[in-house]
Amino acid sequence: MSTQFPVSDHVKTRGVVYFARMVDKIRLHAAGQLPADYAGHLGFADVTSFDSRFCRFWDVTYDLVKTRTLKGGTAEEIFDDLFAGRQPLNAEHVFVWNLFLLKRGWRDSGTPGVTAEKAAAGIPDRADVQTYVDMHDIDEGREPQPAFL
């Protein structure tokens, strides 16, 4: 079976980056289409993964995200179900989450990891690649986005 990359981290669901990617990874993994080296970053397999950080930040369990995702529906429908009965999304929380996620690896404790990934990918001198999201884009055949929108 062929593999497929998930959607970009930049895709927003109800204004929140990354959620659509996590949902896409769950679906692709269930279908046997997620690249094998992504499995170690699903859910809480790696406590520093964006999946685990999303779940902790937004106070949702990965098992619930996975179960709801596999029932089907759009990322928006899944998101709405997971956040039903809670306080409406706070614009400040969305802002902080989006900037954290999109800038992770730039001038923070993740910088050595991004530097190592750049070296392993043969692009140690690419100034436009500064974050883990940039590395995801490069690894998956996309150019890094020039701004955090």
> Looking at the chain, which runs of residues are DSSP E strands?
12-13, 16-17
Domain extent listing, the chain: 1-103, 105-144
pLDDT digits 0-9 by tens, 4-36: 999 999 999 999 999 999 999 999 999 999 999
Q: How many helices and strands (H and E) does the chain possess?
A: 7, 2
pLDDT digits 0-9 by tens, 46-77: 999 999 999 999 999 999 999 999 999 999 99
Instruction: Give the phi and the psi of residue 13 in degrees, each rounded to 5.
Output: -120, 115
Q: Which residue bears the tokens 């009965």?
A: 85
**Average pLDDT in the chain:** 96
Q: Which two tokens stand for residue 142?
A: 């996309």
67: CB partners within 8 A, 6+ apart: none
Q: Helix axis angle, 91-103 relative to 50-58, nearest 10°?
A: 160
